Structure 1
Amino acid sequence: MKKIFLTSITLLSIGILFSCGDNKKDKESSEKVENTTNDSVAGKESETTETTDAGAELTTNAAALAKAETALKDLPKFKGKEINVFQKIYFYEDGRIIVSLQDPEKPQNIDEYTYKDGKWSEPVAMQISGGGDMKDNVFPLNTIKFETVAKIIEQLEQKAKEVEGAKVSKTVYYNYNVMNQTGQWFTNIDGTRESFSGYFNADGSLKSFNKN
């Protein structure tokens, strides 16, 4: 089975080719994306107890994440339809979510959507290359729940107590492995003397926590 490679016409993803079947390579791909999308969103602190989508609060706030998921499903193009994700979905520490979705009316087309400041962007056309089948490169959005990201970070913060000088990454991504048609969440902890990678099942349960 061949994998379709995704190349964006936007500055966010230019030159990035996602790999599959190798967790280490998946981590490297994530790091490349983070390096090319380093513009932070200034989070404005809320003066009330209401849910806010600002900055890193998004990835640790289950209610805000669920709100973002609902807003995506309610977009006119997707409302009432099955939504398919192309290979990966990123949840960034600065409060953005970036996902590439299959056009339900034109399955051969993939568009990138960015969630920022509490709303989804207009779609940006993606250039697709490779000899694989599109159906093998997408998975149903209903496979996962956005709020799972907060659950994963909570688990990571508990693990961090065992790591000297730990810095918990609040950037989390879900990767769909085209070769074996399965998906998993990934994030990491960087410590003073060592670093660890955390892999989680679709429901957010810990799959493995490995020293790099």
Structure 2
Amino acid sequence: MKTLSSFMITMACSFTFMGCKQITRSVEDTFIPKPDPQRVSKPAPVQQAIDSITGRAIMQMQDQLTTALSKVHVTAHRSKAVKRKDFLINTRALKKAEASLRNLPQYRGKEIFIYQSVHFYDNGSISIMLRHPENPDYVDSYEYQNGIWSAPKPEQLSVNADIDNRSVSLDEVDFTSIANITRLYNQKAAQIEGAKPTTSAYMVVWDKVVRWYPTTINGTRERYSIQFNTDGTLKDFRRD
């Protein structure tokens, strides 16, 4: 497993120029198995045990891959001018960003669906992918910088992309949750020798379930796992 993890992280960093979204789709198609419609609905005990182990392994790969790809995202955004270091804990600025997104002309009066992920950075920028307002089989990416959302950029998706299961309604996500997550993460990090405060936070959708990142705090001598509820409150914190 350690060798596989190292391979995925190395691959993500080596192919930064391909773009984080393209890397994600490629690895998903390779490593994330698709449901088998011929499978028996109630597997035998041995098969259930195999499924449990496989499921945990897949979740670990998802976490490791998501963390690696996020580092690529952060590296790309560091090249931009840093103007607002407090953006991740600025609830007023986060509310404004969400309100501006909802008021985009193409989405007025329509439900907005986030596809795959949304990334927030301490320099005041946001990267997000949304399902097309007219054709739900299409996805567009948007960038938020200097208080303004960019024009939509069409995303090329794999034929195997499971758009429905990788989407969640914006009504289920509150941008201000990022402020709670950042404060909690930084409070815990301050208590761990060698740990640093986070400069980004992000949300990933797997099987229509929202997961907030970062999920690990690395210190000089210790490593901790941290998980958050959808509203940004603390769900779990423990030493690995």
Equivalences for residues 78-117 of structure 1 within 5 A: 78-117=107-146
Greater shift in the superposed pair: 187-196 or 162-171: 187-196
- Please say if residues 195 and 220 of structure 2, whose CA atoms lie closer than 8 Å, have aligned partners that are also in contact: yes
Is the contact made by 2:168 and 2:205 (CA closer than 8 Å) also made in structure 1? Answer: yes
Which residues of 2 match residues 149-160 of structure 1 at below 5 A?
A: 149-160=178-189
The answer to whether the 8 A contact 2:127-2:142 is kept is yes
Higher fraction of helix: 2
Give secondary structure in 2 for the equivalent of 1:168.
coil
Residue type of the partner of 1:200? Answer: F
Bigger share in strand: 1
Larger radius of gyration: 2
SS at match of 1:134: coil
Hey, which bits of structure 1, 4+ residues long, moved more than 4 A?
none
Does the aligned pair in 1 maintain the 2:165–2:206 contact within 8 Å? no
Q: 2:226 aligns with which of 175, 198, 206?
A: 198
Tell me what 1:38 maps to.
78
Q: 1:105, CA displacement in angstroms?
A: 0.6
1:29 equivalent to 2:56? Answer no
- Is the 8 Å Cα contact of residues 103 and 111 (structure 1) preserved in structure 2? yes
Contact 2:186 2:198 in 1 (8 A): no
Cα shift readout 1:100-134 (whole Å, capped 9, x = no counterpart): 00012111111100111111111111110042442
Equivalent position of 2:38 in the other structure = none
Name the amino acid aligned to 1:28: A
Q: Give aligned-pair identity as a percent.
A: 32
Aligned partner of residue 187 in structure 2, secondary structure: helix
**CA separation of 1:31 and 1:210: change in aligned 2, threshold 3 A:** farther
| Residue pair 1:12, 1:37 contacting (<8 A) in 2 also | no
Distance 1:16 1:211, change over 3 A: farther
CA-CA distance at 1:210 after TM superposition = 4.5
Q: CA deviation at 1:36?
A: 3.8
1:14: Cα distance to partner? 6.1
How many residues align? The count is 190
Q: Which runs of 5+ in 2 are unaligned?
A: 1-16, 33-58
* TM-score (normalizing by structure 1): 0.80
TM-score where L is the length of structure 2: 0.71
